Amino acid sequence: MATESAERGNVHVLLTAVVLGLVSLLLQIFWRRIIAKNGRGDSPPMHTGWFPWIGCAVEFGKAPVHFIEAKRKEMGPVYTLLVAGEHMTFLLDPEDFHLFFQSPNVDFQKAVQLPVQRVASVTEESFFTYHTKIHDTVKGKLAAGQLTSLYPKLRQGFAEGLDHIKKGDYELHDVVRGVMYRTVLDNLFGKGVLPTLDQDKYKELERHFVMFDDLFEYGAKLPPFFLREWSTSKGWLLKMFGQVVQRVDTGGEEEKKTVLQSLLSVVDAQHAPNYSLLLMWASLANAIPIMFWTLAFVLDDKRVVEKARQEVMSTVGTSSEVREESLASMPYLKCCILEAIRLRSPGIITRRVVKPFKVKNMTVPAGDMVMVSPFWAHRNPTFFPDPHKFLPERWLSADLEKNVFLEGFIAFGGGRYQCPGRWFALLELHLFLALFIQRFDCKLQGAVPDFSPLHLVGTQQPVGPCPVHIENL
């Protein structure tokens, strides 16, 4: 009797599981048919996934950079993904990029407001009140014509940091971070304004920022209780900036102010620590990994590293000071940097559609997030032959003295809110690369690590370490 009862129970459980499975399947089919029937008029083809609201979030999240290209091959250069309730419409044909960068139908601020609120706790009201002022302030402070005043301290900081590196084995990303973080912060925030002079306090700052940066993209999407370590580091950084802004004097002549002082003079006091944190992230999160990738790619190609070294030695030798004007005589280094930027650009940049617009006889509805992918745009063989190869020479045809880039290159964005710090970034990268090559014979101790396909926002990150051996020249 007990055995028969158990068997009946097992059959009941099995039947229940089958019924639930069939119900789930029917709901999924019903969902997909509703989407297919009602659709969105003449909007782009859409991949919805199998589940309401969630859409294809699971598929997309496994390797979003690769997923973008896979769907382009399947659905064409304009398509929509339903991801966690958001309609993400991709424009992957360069002929359509003007609709992204120049159209009044899309809005940058409305696309980034909520992520900014999540990562830095800036309210919606404050963001829309101060974002344009902040952008224009930073753009003015870091304009090409203003960089000469920043150069001496930048050169001194990089030189002092590199001079502490002795013969030995290192991890390349750690080398770059160890020198660039401190120097850039001292230049843009003021020397010692952040805890950069005390080694123990600086290491604590670095540890919290690395955590904040590593999970920044997830912090823009997920509730804090899913990211406890990240939330702890974010809280630590905001507390630090809360103390910093109380000490910073924002008075005096504008041309003598640091970028932080100028920033604090245009934002509300309540959110001054929050905007300071965002300035720190913007200053470090993209330039430092690009310097890592540049060095890794250069060191991985004997021909390139020899050509770069010859350019540095013929210009400044091993002992001469690298003056700002000397950089203009080292264009190949800049070609190396731009080629690294091309290969490791963000997976997406985004705008919010505020008014429907036409693209290839299709209508992109208001409310969609419209996306362009610099990562894949820079692999278009029409503009970049042998697009997957690191070929600095391709940039020799660009007028880099006038900062005119190659056609098809969109790493710095475009339109009203193009990257405000791009000229400073190119200067610091150019200087650091020249100083590094001038001082070291550095060799990779293995293959260059691949990039992580998980990240869409900002410069691509390596999936693993990059060990090197350094000899002083």
Contacts of residue 107, defined as CB under 8 A and 6 or more positions apart, other chains included, come to 351, 352, 354
Of residues 464, 170, 447, 411, the one with CA closest to residue 297: 447
Strand ranges in 235-392 using DSSP code E only, listed in sequence order? 349-353, 357-359, 362-364, 369-372
Q: What is the DSSP string of 308-354?
A: HHHHHHHHTTTTS---HHHHTT-HHHHHHHHHHHHHT--S-EEEEES
Task: Determine the Cα–Cα distance for residues 90 and 403; give it in Å rounded to an integer.
Answer: 28
| Tokens encoding 203 | 């290491």
Task: Determine the Cα–Cα distance for residues 392 and 384; give it in Å rounded to an integer.
Answer: 11
Contacts of residue 467, defined as CB under 8 A and 6 or more positions apart, other chains included, come to 169, 170, 171, 172, 444, 445, 446
One-letter amino acid at 9 equals G
Of residues 423, 425, 424, the one with CA closest to residue 458: 425
Q: Is the dihedral angle over the CA atoms 452, 457, 460, 463 positive or is it negative?
A: negative
Task: Determine the Cα–Cα distance for residues 194 and 273; give it in Å rounded to an integer.
Answer: 12
78: burial class by Cβ within 10 Å (0-12, 13-18, 19+)?
A: buried
| Tokens encoding 191 | 């020397």
Task: Determine the Cα–Cα distance for residues 452 and 385; give it in Å rounded to an integer.
Answer: 24
Q: Is the dihedral angle over the CA atoms 212, 215, 220, 222 positive or is it negative?
A: negative
Q: What is the DSSP string of 369-401?
A: EEEE-HHHHTT-TTTSSSTTS--GGGGGGS-GG
- Please name the residue that has the structure tokens 């001038």: 438
CB 302, CB 472: distance < 8 Å: no
Q: Is 419 a known ligand-binding residue? A: yes
3-class secondary structure, 62: helix
Of residues 258, 283, 263, the one with CA closest to residue 273: 263
Task: Determine the Cα–Cα distance for residues 453 and 60; give it in Å rounded to an integer.
Answer: 11
Q: Are strands 369-372 and 349-353 parallel, antiparallel or unpaired?
A: antiparallel
One-letter amino acid at 136 equals D
Determine how many CB atoms are found less than 10 A away from the CB of residue 223: 9
Name the strands in the sheet holding 168-171, side by side, starting at the edge strand that comes first in the sequence: 168-171, 467-472, 440-444
Residues, the chain: 473
Instruction: Show binding-site residues for heme.
Output: 419
Residues that constitute the known binding site: 419
